[in-house]
Chains A and B, each alone.
Chain A
Amino acid sequence: MKRFLALAVCASLVLISGCNKSSEPGSGNGSGGKKLTIALMPKSKGNAYFISCKAGADEAAKELGVDLLFDGPTDPDPAKQNEIIENWITLGVDVIAAACENKEGISTALKKARGKGIKVVTFDSDANPDARDFFVNQATPEGIAQTLMDEAARLTDSEGEFAIITASLTAANMNEWRKDIEARLAEKYPKMKLVDTKPCDDLKDKAQAEATNLLSAYPNLKLIMAICSPAVPGTAEAVKQAGKTGTVKVIGLGLPSENRKYVHEGVTQSVILWKTKDLGYLTIKAAVDAANGKLKPGATDYDAGRLGTLKIEGESIVLGKPFIFNDANIDQFDF
Chain B
Amino acid sequence: MRGKAHIPETTLALYVPGDLPLWRRALVRLHVARCAWCRQMVDVYRSDRARLREIAAEMPESVNWNKLAAEMTANIHVGLAAGECVAPRRRKQVSVGWRPAAAMAGLAAVLVCAWWLNMPSNTTQELGRAFHAILTGRGGVNTFPARDGRGLVVELSSSGIDLRENGSLVFGVSQDQAKLVDVSASVQGSASARYVDDKTGQMTITSVYAQ
- Do A and B form a real pair? no
Name B's A-contacting residues (CB within 8 A): none
Name A's B-contacting residues (CB within 8 A): none
